[in-house]
A and B are shown apart, each in its own frame.
Chain A
Amino acid sequence: MTAPPTLTVGLVGAGGIARAHAPAWRALGADLVVHSLAGAPELAAAHGGRAAGSLDELLDVADVVDVVTPTPRHLEVAATALAAGRHVLCEKPLARTGTDAVALLEAARAADRQLYPGHVVRFFPEYAALRAAVRAGDVGTPAVLRFARGGMFPVWSPWFADDAQSGGVVLDLMIHDLDIARWVAGEVTEVFATRRTVEQDGAPHALAHVVLTHADGAITHVRGLWGAPHTTFRTSFHVAGDAGVLRFDSAGAGGVRTDLPPVPSGGQDRPAPAAGESPYLTEIREVARAFAASPTALPESDPRHPRVSAVDGVVAVEIAEAALASIESGAPVALDTAARARALGGTPLPPHDTPDLVTTGSRA
């Protein structure tokens, strides 16, 4: 009996999220090849991989591709990898615009390859526990939900501050909770958002609020902050239903609490989970299992399909885009994510009171 060949992962990009993904791939025993405009040799060296001089060179050796570039490059890099017959894990947001996200989804369909968005918060145990409990009916019918997420303004890489490239705090940061809100409370019918950006003493700040109306009447507040340089990264939620309340605050969770110097430089640490292994490892293990399951696309109904689909990634971008449109116009924006999910070939999320069936355990 021979050992299966080692999976070679092509990591495109060498920034903060690459530093979170690289050790997860290595922990699963994959070989690592890194290509980036800057920093690839250093990242490869730090994680026992090697650098590739070009995307073509990377595609020559990589079995699957993990796209961790800045958002504006996602479509081009991921579509190229898909066209070359590679499965792709693409960091969130799937693309800067809904149009580009749909184009990427279509590229995956045309190539008959797997594409998953890196919505890692679905793999954080506290959010997975929330979702499972709500689906099990523990809080009854969800009524009013609040999600908050924030940290220091990401000044370590200039593209974050450019709305045209990143979509700002709404598309880059709050998309996590916009996706989670839909995952927990169901499809979305209306989006209203406000945002205030202030530059003070050369330091940018951005605070945004998004209010979602869900198909069955639940309402959700999502608050995102790119704040002052000392801001500790923190996430929280409060989910009230007619039979109970569930809440979490990363500031009060976990068995270890430290507040130690120095002020982070060169990027803020990725948020730590409340407990257990790195959620990036959980995410990548689930994605790697799907990649290994089939050389071609995997239907959402397959139990080996990850808990997040490319359609989910497109819909998350479209919700964030609606929020940006609401900020721009000052008025609510109607949308129908159930219809969109259907039109994109996905399955709309079931209503809150339908517990997941064992046969669709991949979405549990």
Chain B
Amino acid sequence: MEFSEYVAARGVALERFAYVLSGDAHLAQDLVQTALLKAYRRWRWVARAEHPDAYVRRIVTRSYLDWRRRRSSGEQPVSVLPDRAEPDLAEGVAERDRLRRALGALSPKQRAVLVLRHYEGLDDAAIAALLRCGEGSVRSHASRGVARLRASLDQTTSPGGPR
């Protein structure tokens, strides 16, 4: 498979994955281009691999984690651009708004694990291999991430809680 053919076939999926992972349109494009650039430079090797997607996805994920690590001492990124819900909108919309905010507040690894598991559909073993950690660590990140999302949703449904 030629590089152009691969990008034509898988580019959109990669762009979506990077955006779901980062929540930032510009960063997502940088992540995808960075990953594809690395793949392009060794395309013969990548194309022969059984799963070129796995290679590219791994670079996207690690680049994202590196980026979050570099800026971790700075501001908290608003990684999911909120569609602000008005108070009079349906509870379902408000709930998703809260979920997006909570998603943006997760640690980089929690978010990466949840995206790889619930968006990419990878199992724990594949996620562990991609992140170079143990499956127990994957389960721990996933569990804590979901707990934080749940706490955020529960908190905001109680009277007097933040929106």
Is the pairing of A and B real? Answer: no
Enumerate chain B interface residues (CB-CB to A < 8 A): none
Enumerate chain A interface residues (CB-CB to B < 8 A): none
